Structure formats: C-alpha cells, structure tokens
C-alpha cells in the first residue's frame, strides 16, 4: 500500500486528543469568561472570502450597536452631569471606532497577492491594531483629564435614576457586542475579532462602575462620581496594555504554542514520517501561514515524495482549517 493510501485511510480513523490544562474553580470560570478560547478547529471557516465577509458583517452590526449605546449615554450625560458616565461614553465611542480600521483591514485582506505584496494584504489587520491602540489610549487620557478636573472643581450630579440606567445600558450594549464578536471570531479564526469581543466584555463591567458611582452619590458621597471616572480611566489603561502586547506579538510573528503543538502532532501521526524536524507558523491577519521540514522513512521516489508532502499538507489544513498556506519539505532518512 502506498503512503498516499495510508494517509487516506488515516484521515478517516485518526483522532487527536488535544487536552490542555486549564485552571479550575472560580479562577477558571473568570478566565474562560473574560478570555474565551477554543481548540476545536471544526467550528472554523476554511474559505478566506467567506471568513472575511462574516468578519465585516460582525463589525458592521457591533458598530451600530455601540454607536446606539453611545448616543443614549451621551444624552443622559447632559441631564446627569456625571463625569463617570462621560468617561464611559467616551470609551464606548472609541470602542465603536475600532470597528472601522478592522472593517477596512478585512476588505483589504480579500485582495489577491501582487508582485509588491507577494504574501497578500493580511497584515492590514495587524496594522489596524496599532490604530486601535492609539484610539484607546486617547480615550483613557480624555477620561482621566475630565475626572481630575471634576475632583478639583466639584459639581453636583443630577438624575441619579437615569444615570444608573445609562450604566446598565452600557453594560448590555457591550455584552451583546462581546458575545457576537467572540462567536464570529471563533468561527472565522480571527484572533483580532475575538480580542475585540473580550475588550467589549470588560468594557461592559466598567459601565457597571457608573452605577456604583451613582449609588455612592445617592448615599451622600458626591466625590464617588469623579473617583469612579478615574477608576474607569485606569481600567482602560490596563486593557490597553493587553492590546499592546497582543498587537506587538502579531507584528513580531508571535504564535500560540498550542497551535505549533497541534501541527507537530498532526505531522507526527502521518504514516511514513520518521521525524518532524521543525514547524513554523505565523498569523497574517486571521489566516495562518507556515512550513515544516520532515524526515521520511526509507528512500521514496521523487513522485512519491511529492504525493507524500501533498498528503501531509492536506492533513494540516484539516486539523487547522484557518491555514492559508502551508508547505511541507521532505527529506530522506539518513543511513
């Protein structure tokens, strides 16, 4: 039986157990809630154009939801004179704006590779991350400046009932966007979209801080409002650090180690491979590219070697459907 036939039989019978250790208990719940992830490649979309189309649709819908949330909160800002709500409104508006560069990046990513950009335009998604960092940083500065000014020049906060309602509106709007972005991001294999969803989820809890500020004012502590505004500004900076790390890792071709583990495990299980000498992966937008060098048993002919590498590459694409390009280099086993 040829290596090709072995691989065909193997793909029907082979099953990988990708167990990973995750923290349990309350800590594990919090980690999964705020930083959700999945190792199931079966939910991913293999077609790059369909993935981009779904990504754009998710960004459109989440943009309009966050803009509607921002408008409702802004109206209540004028009636309540709350600096905490103003900080949350500015932050939600900046989050809505982050959909625009990602939207443009998804559209650019559909373009075919050219002689100048021979790897395509997937990196536009990573560049969009830089713009997001700038926008989020600006929102933190504006929120902090307003809160400090209110601490130095206190002003009464009014319409506390509406203020609490605005905080709840901000939470519900962000949570709806978070659920949708994370779900679509998982489906299309877009780490940027999942990260944006996680960002929206944590933003929802900063909106609930507005409610706490209103309760503090109602209990006779008027400085609770600007203090909550400062807390929100600090929370934005904490989130910004995570975004900076993620964007920097992508620009430096950083990759999740578990993806390399899956690729290596898949290649090692292909009949005929004696040794997996090295695997490389990197993200280009929401698509993976990479290569591997393997040592094959025996002395296969050139034709068999070509068929063998084609089968190995097909196995990788089945295990990691968001792989855009992957090349396997095979060499004969040394005597």
* pLDDT given at position 242: 74
* pLDDT given at position 20: 42
| Span 261-272, average pLDDT | 87
* pLDDT given at position 291: 92
Q: Using DSSP, state whether 264 is helix, strand or coil.
A: helix
| Span 38-52, average pLDDT | 47
pLDDT in tens, 68-77: 989 998 999 8
36: pLDDT strictly greater than 80: no
Residues in contact with 300: Cβ distance below 8 Å, sequence separation at least 6, in sequence order = 3, 272, 308, 330, 332
Select 38-251's CATH number: 1.20.1510.10, 3.30.470.20, 2.40.50.140, 3.40.50.720. 1.20.1510.10
Select 257-332's CATH number: 3.30.365.10, 3.30.70.1350, 3.20.20.220, 3.20.10.10. 3.30.70.1350
Is the pLDDT higher at 319 or at 91?
319
Strand arrangement of the beta sheet that strand 273-284 belongs to:
273-284, 287-296, 323-332
Using 50, 70 and 90 to split pLDDT, how confident is the model at 189? low
Count CA atoms within 13 Å of residue 51 on its CB side: 27
Is the pLDDT higher at 21 or at 156?
156
153: pLDDT strictly greater than 90: no
* pLDDT given at position 48: 54
Q: For the chain, first and last CA: distance in Å? A: 23
| Span 220-236, average pLDDT | 83
| Span 63-85, average pLDDT | 88
Residue 333 is classified by DSSP as P
* pLDDT given at position 334: 65
Domain locations in the chain? Answer: 38-251, 257-332
126: pLDDT strictly greater than 70: yes
Which residue carries 């600096």 as its tokens? 83
Please state whether the predicted TM-score (pTM) of the whole model is above 0.75. no
- CA separation for the pair 328, 335 (Å, rounded): 22
Q: Which candidate, 279, 293, 281, 267, places its Cα nearest to that of 323?
A: 281
């Amino acid at each position: 039986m040829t290596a090709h036939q072995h691989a065909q039989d193997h793909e029907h019978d082979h099953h990988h157990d990708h167990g990973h250790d995750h923290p349990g208990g309350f800590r594990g719940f919090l980690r999964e809630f705020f930083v959700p992830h999945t190792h199931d490649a079966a939910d991913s979309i293999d077609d790059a154009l369909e993935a981009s189309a779904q990504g754009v649709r998710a960004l459109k819908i989440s943009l309009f939801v966050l803009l509607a949330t921002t408008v409702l909160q802004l109206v209540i800002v004028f009636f309540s004179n709350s600096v905490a709500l103003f900080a949350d409104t500015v932050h939600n508006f900046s989050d809505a704006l982050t959909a625009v560069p990602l939207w443009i990046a998804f559209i650019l990513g559909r373009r075919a590779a050219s002689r100048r950009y021979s790897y395509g335009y997937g990196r536009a998604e990573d560049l969009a991350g830089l713009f997001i960092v700038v926008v989020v940083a600006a929102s933190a500065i504006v929120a902090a400046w307003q809160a400090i000014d209110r601490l130095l020049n206190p002003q009464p906060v009014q319409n506390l009932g509406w203020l609490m309602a605005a905080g709840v509106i901000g939470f519900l709007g962000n949570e709806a966007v978070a659920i949708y972005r994370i779900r679509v991001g998982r489906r299309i294999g877009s780490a940027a979209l999942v990260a944006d969803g996680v960002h929206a989820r944590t933003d929802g809890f900063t909106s609930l801080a507005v409610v706490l500020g209103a309760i503090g004012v109602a209990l006779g502590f008027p400085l609770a409002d600007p203090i909550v505004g400062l807390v929100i500004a600090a929370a934005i900076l904490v989130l910004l650090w995570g975004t900076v790390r993620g964007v920097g890792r992508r620009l430096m071709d950083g990759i999740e180690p578990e993806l390399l583990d899956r690729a290596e495990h898949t290649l090692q299980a292909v009949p005929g491979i004696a040794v997996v000498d090295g695997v490389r992966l990197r993200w280009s937008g929401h698509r993976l590219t990479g290569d591997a060098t393997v040592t094959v048993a025996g002395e296969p002919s050139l034709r068999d070697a070509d068929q063998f590498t084609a089968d190995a590459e097909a196995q990788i694409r089945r295990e990691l459907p968001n792989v855009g390009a992957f090349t396997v280099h095979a060499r004969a086993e040394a005597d």
